[in-house]
Structures are given as C-alpha cells and as structure tokens.
Amino acid sequence: MDSVIRKAEIEDVSDIAELVETYVSRNKLLPCSAEEIQASIEDWIVAANNGRILGCGSLLAYSPSLAEIRSLAVVEDAMRKGLGMAMLQDLIAEAKRRNVKMVFALTRIVPFFERAGFHLSLPELFPEKIWRDCGSCPLKDNCDELAVALRLDRSEV
C-alpha cells in the first residue's frame, strides 16, 4: 500500500473527523469535533492513498517544550501495515523541528509506543493534559490509559 503522509489540509477535515469519531464511539479516542480539527489543522497529519484518508494524528503543544501526540488512528483495513508507526515517526520529527523537549501520549497500546522509543511515565507529570481533557473524559473514573513519554534531544534534529 503506497500511502503518503502529509500535513492535513482543510479539505481533509470531514474525513479526519469521521475517522476520529469511529474510535470515539469505541471509547478509544477523545472526541474532537470538525470545528476543533479545522481550528488546529496545522497540527494534524494524514496518511492518504489515492485521495482516501487512511490515518490521522495530531501534535498538540502544551508549551514550547511539551507536546502530546493524540488522535493517532488508522482505518481498519489499513492496520498492521506500518502506517501508524510511520505517522508516529512523522509527528516525532515535527516535534523535533519545533524544538519540543518531550512528547507524550496517553494510550492503551503501550508496546506500540515503546517500539518508537517511548517509556512508561506518570500521568501526573503532565498536569496540562489532566487540566485540559481528563475532567471531561467519559472514562475519567475508570481510566485504563497509561502515560508514555519520549524525551527529544535537540542534537538529533
């Protein structure tokens, strides 16, 4: 499958929103409306093949030194083909370009992130995330996500 990973464009918003909603309905991702996606489109990437969006992800900056990788999703028929990892690597590279010192994610698929060099962390180390999202999360009282983090060395850019 020859997919291209690229910066998302306004024309991609509805496809991204649909993909995100697929995983929101399964309690796998936090909700993100089309309006929110459009307002932050410069932070999104997509994997596309012949005009079809196969995956998406975003890099949400909390400060100049901290960003979250979020809404990383791949359509079911494109899973297990390396697309998720390729998008994750692209988001890490973008964080390095922005001179971010640390990226993190909250996830249920820790081994996926560990393959990219992330390590288990404590969610309490990311109070910005807790303040922003955890209070409104439908699973806040039964959260089964784990925090993973990757420290970025500016010399690797």
Beta bridge mates, 146: 107
Beta bridge mates, 57: 45
What is the CB-side half-sphere exposure of residue 114 using CA atoms within 13 A?
8
Q: What is the share, in percent, of the chain residues with pLDDT greater than 70? A: 84
Length of the chain (residues)? 157
What span, in angstroms and rounded, lies between the C-alpha atoms of 120 and 3? 30
Report the C-alpha dihedral over residues 84, 89, 95, 96, rounded to 10 degrees: 180
Q: Max CA-CA distance within the chain?
A: 42
Residue 35 has pLDDT above 50, yes or no: yes
User: Can you tell me the mean pLDDT for 123-134?
Assistant: 61
Query: Which pLDDT score, from 0 to 100, does residue 119 have?
Result: 95
Average pLDDT over all residues of the chain:
87
pTM flag (> 0.85): yes
Write phi, then psi, for 46 (nearest 5 degrees).
-135, 155
Nearest Cα residue to 102 out of 129, 134, 73: 129
What span, in angstroms and rounded, lies between the C-alpha atoms of 129 and 123? 8
Write phi, then psi, for 91 (nearest 5 degrees).
-65, -40
User: Can you tell me the mean pLDDT for 109-137?
Assistant: 76
User: Can you tell me the mean pLDDT for 48-64?
Assistant: 94
